[in-house]
Amino acid sequence: MDAETLDPMERLIAERACERLIVEFVRRLDLGDPGSVAELFTPDGSWSWPAGDRRIAGREALRDYFGGRPADRLSRRMCTNILVTVTSPDTAAATSYFATYRVDGYSGGMVPPRPPAQVGHYEDSFRKVDGFWLLSTRTTFLSFAGPTERLDGPGDS
């Protein structure tokens, strides 16, 4: 069976499962346990950034990478324009746009507004494993990016 012969309800369920992974990824990074993002990937999953030629492959490496974020980092990501294309009963691809607001040195309270640290898009591939949809690859393309600002003191937060 190929993507064209999928039952419309199966296609809709696959699209929704992949959309949810994209949103859950962001929620875990910003509001949950960043190291648990690795569980959203297939065991051999990877995240790469063509600019800078960086690539992290495998759940353990992903867990270490995301779990190693600074404890005083405050971040919020907005994802939009999520477009999932089911390519077969067990594979899909997606493109989504994002903006990342992020500071280090956060100690509580509200931070005055700033421009986003990053704006770009993700290109994702998904694979169904044991009945569950997971990210198999995520590639990050940055259109705008700068360093993560470090807050200086109590007046900043």
Cβ atoms of residues 100 and 77 within 8 Å: yes
Its pTM stands at: 0.91
Instruction: Report the CATH number at residue 11.
Output: 3.10.450.50
What does the angle CA 131 – CA 139 – CA 31 come to, to the nearest 5 degrees? 70
pLDDT digit string (tens) for the chain, length 157 residues: 677 789 999 999 999 999 999 999 999 999 989 999 999 999 999 999 998 889 999 999 999 999 999 999 999 999 999 999 999 999 999 999 999 999 999 999 999 999 999 999 999 999 999 999 999 999 999 999 999 999 986 555 5
Distance CA 33, CA 101 (A): 18
pLDDT digits (tens, 9 = 90+) for 80-95: 999 999 999 999 999 9
How many domains is the chain built from?
1
Look at residue 153 in the predicted model and tell me its pLDDT: 64
Single out the residue of 148, 124, 127, 149 nearest to residue 137, CA to CA: 124
Q: Map residue 114 onto helix, strand or coil.
A: coil
Q: Which residue range(s) make up the domain with 70?
A: 3-156
Q: Map residue 23 onto helix, strand or coil.
A: helix
Distance CA 54, CA 65 (A): 12
